[in-house]
Structure 1
Amino acid sequence: MKVLKEYLDYIEKNKKLSQNTVASYNRDLRKYMDYLNCKNINIVDVVENDIISYLIELEKDNISVSSISRMISSIKSYHDYLFFNRLTTSDPSKNIKKPKVKREEVEILTEEEVDKLLKFDDLSTPKKVRDKAIFEVLYGTGIKVSELIEMNLEDIDLDIDYIYCGSSKNQRVIPLCETTKFYLLKYINDSRDILTYPEEKALFVNAQGQRFTRQGLWKLIKKYAKEADINKNINPTTLRHSFAIHLLNGGANVAVVSKILGNSNLSSLQLYLKYIDKNIRKEIKEKHPRENDMNYK
């Protein structure tokens, strides 16, 4: 397991993968290693058929296609690391292909539903102020839940109205709108010190005064969605999807939205495009200076 730990340190420090991604790779590879141990197969002796047999076992256990796809990525990355560092003489995973994952429809909230979700009539307790600030930051910036929970107090600069996402490989600076800034400032000034300890670095903290977990934040989102009577399958990325689509519907530039989200290429925004209101397309067709220029051959 020493080599596995060295690999995990490598992808975190050199590849700049998020803690959440590293944790996923760790779980996937430990499960893979447990399988190899049960079969009395040493990692340096693994051949392609061993990996295929493991994937067949996963399918028998009704593991989802998306999970298997992620596990294959973990396995391929680990074997590539072993081969590159000459710990093995070959890479048995190089010809293993990931199954095609059917892209699911994104679940988004209407602007009216967002208003209901973000409507906090009661801000009388530090926890309520914290929760309000969390929702305003998620919807106001489009950051991932994993980025939010990894964010530290020092990543906020309210003098120039920016937050810094430095925990993931897509590091970026995101501007804050006035509403997001207001509630973030209120939380930092009025509530955070009551909820945690001076030495805690995390921006948002749970009931124990410690950094939120992904699961804890998910439960919080589910709780408020239920209270707002929103009958949709809301998950940690719902507000991120809604942020992007509402910006696009408002006429925002796709490249700008992509940069804010931290997407490495514009193709990752393609699944949003069908949600753009038809009137935007109509406006482009009617008002673009080249649309009515018929002098082409």
Structure 2
Amino acid sequence: MKVLEEYLNYIEKNKKLSKNTVASYNRDLKKYVEYLNERNINLSDVVENDIISYLIELEKEDISVASISRMISSIKSYHDYLFFNKILDTDPSKNIKKPKVKRVDVEILTEDEVDKLLKFEDLSTPKRIRDKAIFEILYGTGIKVTELIDMNLEDVDLEIDYIYCGSGKNQRVIPLCETTEFYLLKYINESRNELTYPEEKALFVNAQGQRFTRQGLWKLIKKYAKEADINKNINPTVLRNSFAIHLLNGGANVAVVNKILGNSNLSSLQLYLKHIDKNLRKEIKEKHPREHEIN
């Protein structure tokens, strides 16, 4: 288990993977190691068939293809680390292929639905002001829940209308629109000091005055989604997708949107592109500098 701890420390500190990703790898690999121990298989003796047998067991448990694909990534990364650092002489996972995950369509909210979700007519309490600011930040910047949770008060610079997102490997500076800035400033000036203590660093705090947990923030989002009475599975990813697609439909540059979201490459936005209005697609085709080069 000491080797596993060293590996997890390596991917967090050297590979700069987010805490959430490291936690997922930890769960996957503990389950994998438990499987080996139950069958008295030493890590140094693992062969390809042992890994395949483990994956077959996972399929019997009716685990989703996406989860199995992630587990294979965890196992391959771990064995690659062990082989590269000469802890093991071979890498039994090198020929294991990940199953193709069927990519589902991106679910988004319409702009009218976003307005309904973010309406917040009652801002009479510090918690309501906080919650309004949270929703405005999630939709107004497209950041992930883990990134919002990790944000500290010092990551906000309202003099130049930016927030600093320093979570994981996709560190970036994100501009704030006027509405997002207004409600974030209202929370900081009118609400935050009522909810926590001066020494607390977290930007957004829960009922105990401490940094939100991932689960706590999800519950908060589900609560307001239910109140809004929108017949969709509203979650942070839906807000992030909606932010991206609404920007693209408004004519924003794809590369700029990708950079704001912190995606590592443009292919991450392929699922979004089909949602762009037909008029925008037509304009891109008509105005592209190479569109009329073929005689």
Structure 1 length normalisation: TM-score?
0.95
Q: CA deviation at 1:34?
A: 1.1
Instruction: State how far apart, in whole Å, the 1-side matches of 2:154 and 2:3 are.
Output: 34
State the match for 1:120 in structure 2: 120
Moved more, 108-117 or 37-46: 37-46
User: 1:1-12 counterparts in 2 under 5 A?
Assistant: 1-12=1-12
Question: How far does the alpha carbon of each residue in 1:209-257 deviate from its partner, in whole angstroms, 9 at most, with x for none?
Answer: 2221222211111111111111001222011000000000000011111
Looking at structure 1, the residues matched to 233 and 70 of structure 2 have their Cα atoms a distance apart, in angstroms, of 22
Which residue identity does 1:203 align to in structure 2? L
For the 8 Å contact 2:8–2:22, the answer to whether it is kept is yes
**Counterpart of 1:267?**
267
Match of 2:179 in 1: 179
Q: Summarize the alignment of residues 26-65 of structure 1 with structure 2, pairs less than 5 Å apart.
A: 26-65=26-65
How much identity, in percent, do the aligned residues show?
85
Paired with 2:294 and 2:232, the residues of 1 have a C-alpha distance of 48
Deviations 1:86-119 (A, max 9, x none): 1111111111111100001111000000000000
Residue 244 in structure 1 maps to residue 244 in structure 2: yes
Q: Give the direction of change, closer, same or farther, for the CA distance of 1:288–1:21 in structure 2 (3 Å limit).
A: closer
Supply the distance in 2 between the matched residues of 1:199 and 1:50 (Cα, whole angstroms).
51
What is the CA distance between 1:156 and its match in structure 2? 1.1
Q: Name the structure 2 match of 1:20.
A: 20
* 1:144 aligned partner, one-letter code: K
Deviation >6 Å, runs of 4+: none
SS of match in other structure, 2:163: strand
Q: State the distance in 2 between where 1:39 and 1:232 align.
A: 45
Number of positions where the alignment pairs a residue of Structure 1 with one of Structure 2: 295
Contact 2:165 2:173 in 1 (8 A): yes
Mapped to 2, the partners of 1:160 and 1:67 lie a distance apart of 41
Q: Which amino acid aligns with 1:238?
A: V
TM-superposed CA distance for 1:264, in Å, is 1.2
Query: 1:274 and 1:210 mapped to 2: Cα distance?
Result: 41
Q: Secondary structure at the match of 2:164?
A: strand
Pair 1:199-2:193 in alignment: no
> CA contact under 8 A between 2:47 and 2:92: conserved in structure 1?
yes
Looking at structure 1, the residues matched to 174 and 286 of structure 2 have their Cα atoms a distance apart, in angstroms, of 33
Describe the superposition over 1:124-154 as per-residue Cα deviations: whole angstroms up to 9, x where unpaired: 1111111101100011111111111111111
Matched residue, 2:96: 96
In structure 2, stretches of 5+ residues that fail to align are: none
Distance across 2 between alignment mates of 1:158 and 1:125: 23
> Cα RMSD between the aligned structures?
1.5
CA distance in 1 between counterparts of 2:264 and 2:238 reads 20
Aligned pairs for 1:99-110 (under 5 A) are 99-110=99-110
Where does structure 1 lack aligned partners over 5 or more consecutive residues?
none
Match of 1:143 in 2: 143
Match of 1:277 in 2: 277
Q: Distance in 1 between matches of 2:48 and 2:285?
A: 53
Which secondary structure state, in structure 1, belongs to the residue aligned with residue 96 of structure 2?
A: coil
Alignment of 1:72-87 (within 5 A): 72-87=72-87
**How big is the shift at 1:282?**
2.7
User: Could you say what secondary structure the match of 1:174 adopts?
Assistant: strand
Q: Take 2:172 and 2:294, find their aligned partners in 1: how far apart are those partners?
A: 42
The amino acid of 2:54's aligned partner reads: Y
Q: How does 1:150-169 map to 2 (within 5 A)?
A: 150-169=150-169
SS in 1 for 2:174: strand
SS at match of 1:114: helix
